Amino acid sequence: MLGSAALVGASVPVFWQGGMADRAIIRQEGRVFAEVDLKARKQFEVSGPLGTTLIAVEPGRARVVADPSPRQYCVKQGWLMRPGEIAICAPNRVSVQITGRTKVYDSISY
């Protein structure tokens, strides 16, 4: 019984979340600025119309650390860890998205 529960728990990221996260895609004004392997530990400074957005990538996750946008929504997203998660700094035209080996679909992309 306990083994079955562990198996179901371990299968959630693989079958229901688009697989394991493996890359972060950083975009600047809609164009790819960088594609980063999520095994890396790096920081990126991305320029936008309002100033510089700071993005941190650590093993298995990425986040927007600082952004000059007034409401800070993309910073408040916190760590992104699952395929399909995205933080968009719309006023500064910068985004970071987590991807996996398979595409993740939702009602918007359907």
> One digit per residue, pLDDT tens: the chain, 110 residues?
666 665 565 655 555 555 789 999 999 999 999 999 999 899 999 999 999 999 999 999 999 999 999 999 999 999 999 999 999 999 999 999 999 876 655 555 54
CB-based contact 99:17 (threshold 8 Å):
no
Domain count, the chain: 1
Indicate whether 86 belongs to any domain. Answer: yes
What range does the domain containing 83 cover? 2-100
Examine residue 73 and state whether it is found in any structural domain, yes or no.
yes
Q: What is the CATH number of the domain that holds 51?
A: 2.60.320.10
| Domain annotation covers residue 85 | yes
In a domain? residue 105: no
pTM listed for this prediction = 0.77
- Pairwise CA distance, residues 40 & 28, whole Å: 20
Confirm whether 83 is domain-assigned. Answer: yes
